[in-house]
Amino acid sequence: MVQHFDENTTVGVDVGIKDFAILSNGEKIGNPRYLKKSLLRMKVLQRRLSRKQKGSNNKNKAKQAMAKLHEIIHNQRNDFQHKLSFRLVCENQAIALETLNVAGMLKNHKLAQHIADASWSSFVTQLEYKAQRHGKTILRIGQFEPSSKICSKCGYYNRKLSLADRDWVCPDCGTHHDRDINAAINIRKFALDKQNSIGI
Ligand SMILES: [Zn+2]
């Protein structure tokens, strides 16, 4: 049986670096403050660790502190992601996501980007198993759909949109778009179009 979903029962989710997730209903979910604090602390510890002498007692202590912090960050992230994925699964019948290019992402050496990517893939895993458990559906669209560049109102394709443009006005219909929210709306739209064209 092919299920049909609509805009009221489906949420589109876009990923970000500044915000952890952006929803098609306009909601932006930032990374929790305590997670940011822990990441700052990690930078300090990394620097400290690199300065200590090999095999010294201080080096071992610094290593232990680092391991402990990794555990704290892991737990904080897990907790945050469990709550958010549970909420999304409870509030919606279907969740639309973009399939991300994980191989390309892992080549990125920027720490912040790397952490955001790793974090996102574990979040998707949590969404998937919760959706399955609660009888909800994950809808996916391909990574080549230009979700940021298309006006979610009229379908105009904005070729000129660059990565730096956080918001833009559609030259065709005049709608003012927040880049990420527009992308989240398009992710939902593309996913619904694809889903509802099956079996018709
Ligand atoms: Zn438009």
Q: Which of 79, 98, 172, 193 is catalytic?
A: 98
d(CA 58, CA 88): 45
Q: Give the CA count within 13 Å in the CB-facing half-sphere of 61.
A: 7
**Neighbouring C-beta atoms of residue 175, cutoff 10 Å:** 14
Range of lowest pLDDT (58-62, 91-95, 109-113): 109-113
- Sorted by where each begins, the domain ranges of the chain are 10-30+91-198
- Predicted TM-score (pTM) of the model is 0.84
What is the pLDDT confidence band of residue 121, given thresholds at 50, 70 and 90?
A: confident
Q: Give dist(CA 77, CA 11) in Å, integer.
A: 22
Sheet of 19-23: strand order equals 28-30, 19-23, 10-15, 94-98, 137-141
Q: Is 14 part of the annotated catalytic residue set?
A: yes
Q: Judge whether 117 counts as a catalytic residue.
A: no
pLDDT band at 33 (very low <50, low <70, confident <90, very high): confident
Please determine, for residue 10, whether its predicted confidence score (pLDDT) is greater than 70.
yes
Rounded to the nearest whole angstrom, what is the distance from the C-alpha of residue 166 to the centroid of ligand 1? Answer: 16
pLDDT tens-digit map of 141-183: 987 778 999 999 999 999 999 888 999 999 999 999 999 999 9
Distances (CA, A) of 87 to 42, 129, 130, 151, 174: 29, 13, 10, 28, 34
In tens, the pLDDT along 66-110 reads 999 989 988 988 999 999 999 999 999 999 998 876 555 555 556
Catalytic, 193? Answer: no
Residue 109: its pLDDT value, please?
A: 59
Calculate how far, in angstroms, residue 169's C-alpha sits from the geometric centre of ligand 1. Answer: 8
- pLDDT tens figures, 125-136: 999 999 999 999
Q: What are phi and psi of 49, to 5 degrees?
A: -60, -40
Round the average pLDDT of the chain to a whole number and report it.
88
